[in-house]
Amino acid sequence: MDIQALFESFRQKKIIVLGDVMLDSYILGNVSRISPEAPVPIVSLRATDERLGGAANVALNLASLGASPVICSLIGDDFEGKRLAGLFAENNMASEGLVKSEGRKTTVKTRIIGNNQQLLRIDSEQTDDISKADEDRLFAKIEALIGSGIDALVFEDYNKGVLTESLITRVIALCREKGVATTVDPKKKNFFAYQGVTLFKPNLKELKEGLDLGFSISDTLAFDAAVESLRTKLKHEITFITLSEHGVFIKNESEKHHIPAHVRNIADVSGAGDTVISVATLCLCAGLPIEQIAAVSNLAGGLVCEKAGVVSIDKEELMEEMKQFIGWNY
């Protein structure tokens, strides 16, 4: 499959993104002096910005590659929730899977940036599991969407309470029944709830925490043993582990590959995992071999690390790098 055909196939994919959405708020300014009231910098306000964050950033990445994402999540019936819903509309993104909850607070992460450096982050959030009533309302939305035709479902877990163990189990069972691929960007809390998914993508830290193991990435025997332990416990099809500056690792029942990282001028690693799971999901839906899934996702994750802040992948940049580093031609 050539590049044009691959990206054209992305345009035909409809993907549910299920997980914790949040409002990323930025306060941007300049710092030239320290406060006389306390040993802290004074930020001279220059601008403010609000962006879609968390699972919503996965949806943005999917949209930037031409796919049709549908966000499924829970937000509060508050000002921040209304602003979040407004941002979905402004970005022309489907949000019929959003559920408003009167008893829930919308997650907001506020970053204070001075002289292009993050000085402080303020989190306003509620992280306990969503109620059974809210879970049932969210599951009904997912069930209806899957019934209308979906190519894959991404679980994007930020440990903010939307992905309860019960909801995860119910959705996986439904996807199996309907033949929908499932991919996961996990966190520690429900690490082993994702039984039998299609692709499971922890980073190295999450792998160690999930298995309660400590080992060096240079210890290949220990790493391979950890991967086998994960596969035994989860019984999933494809294991895909991001290794930061060491690249990525991918394995299924019959083959495994380590793709080294490319040399980058790293500006910010925020959101790289969102990009990787988005690209991996689309490549999986396109039927690429696992080595190519890993190679393309590795390039995409590296590209967004060269930009400051949480950004989605640029399709044209990714296509150019695929030609340069993987040898794909138009």
pLDDT tens figures, 145-168 = 999 999 999 999 999 999 999 999
Residue 29 banded pLDDT, cuts 50, 70, 90? very high
**Distance separating alpha carbons of residues 309 and 87, to the nearest angstrom:** 17
121-140: b or e for each residue (b if 16 or more CB lie within 10 Å)? eeeeeeeebbeeebbeebbe
Phi-psi region for residue 3, left (φ > 0), alpha (ψ -120 to 50) or beta?
Answer: alpha
Q: In the block, which residue shows the tokens 């919308």?
A: 106
Q: C-alpha distances in angstroms, 177 versus 164, 170, 283?
A: 20, 11, 22
Mean pLDDT of 130-142: 97
Mean pLDDT of 170-175: 98
Mean pLDDT of 42-69: 94
Write out pLDDT tens, residues 235-267.
999 999 999 889 899 999 999 999 988 766 665
Cβ atoms 140, 114 nearer than 8 A: no
20, 151, 157, 274: the active-site residue = 274
- 3-state SS, one letter per residue, for 91-126: CCCEEEEEEEECCCCCCEEEEEEECCEEEEEEEECC
pLDDT at 93 over 70: yes
**Distance separating alpha carbons of residues 85 and 69, to the nearest angstrom:** 15
CB atoms near residue 144 (< 10 Å):
11
pLDDT at 268 over 60: no
Residue 278 banded pLDDT, cuts 50, 70, 90? very high
pLDDT at 105 over 50: yes
Cβ atoms 152, 185 nearer than 8 A: no
Cβ atoms 75, 106 nearer than 8 A: yes
Looking at per-residue pLDDT, the higher value among 269 and 146 belongs to 146
pLDDT of residue 309: 65
pLDDT of residue 83: 94
What's the chain's average pLDDT? Answer: 92
Residue type, 177: E
Q: For residue 220, report the phi and psi dihedrals to the nearest 5 degrees.
A: -65, -35
**Distance separating alpha carbons of residues 236 and 232, to the nearest angstrom:** 8
pLDDT at 102 over 50: yes
Residue 302 banded pLDDT, cuts 50, 70, 90? confident
pLDDT of residue 330: 43
Is residue 274 part of the annotated active site? The answer reads yes
Cβ atoms 299, 259 nearer than 8 A: no
Alpha-carbon torsion (86, 87, 93, 97), positive or negative: negative
Structural domains in the chain, sorted by start: 3-21+59-109+128-326 (3.40.1190.20)
